[in-house]
Amino acid sequence: MNQLEFELQFACDHEHLPTEEQFKLWLQTALEHLSITDKVALTLRVVSVDESQSLNHQFRGKDRPTNVLSFPFEMPQGLPPELMPEERLLGDLVACAEIVAKEAKEQNKPLHNHWAHMVIHGCLHLLGYDHIKDDEAEAMEALEIKILEKLGIGDPYHIDGTL
């Protein structure tokens, strides 16, 4: 089993947010499914629409809020061995509470299930998965489905998200 160093930041007030334990379970399940056994670290920040829009505009050139943004950590070149971190730094996830809730309602999915999906989706991005090309998207979606299944959550792409 991996060791997850996990920092959770709430930068907005929103109803029905998952607990720290839920966020951690979803991340641990994704890491375990991918057989990642080393010590890893990441930060998850839950933000407002304004902060999501600002970050999406600044880093992706899209002037609108989005459900989740992933910022993989890039190790600086030439870092002396004594300054290398003990854990594998994955990076930062930024999730917009209002957008996740809005999407869950629009897609007729339980909010808890959609949060799990978005956190797992973002985690996979931190690990290098993407969905730009069709074959990459299919592979990433298949992984998400298998990980969510381990949590008792159905296929988010083809049903209402329940088993």
114 is in an annotated binding site: no
121 is in an annotated binding site: yes
Q: Is 79 helix (H, G, I), strand (E, B) or coil?
A: coil
Strand partners, 40: 4, 88
> Helix, strand, coil shares of the chain as percentages rounded to 5?
45, 20, 35
Q: Please report how the helices 111-126 and 97-106 are oriented relative to each other, as an axis angle in degrees rounded to 10.
A: 120
Q: How far apart are CA 54 and CA 14, in angstroms?
A: 19
Burial of 30 (0-12, 13-18, 19+ CB in 10 A): buried
d(CA 157, CA 160) in angstroms, rounded, equals 8
Residue 131, annotated as binding a ligand: yes
| Residue list for the binding site for Zn(2+) | 121, 125, 131
| Residue list for the binding site | 121, 125, 131
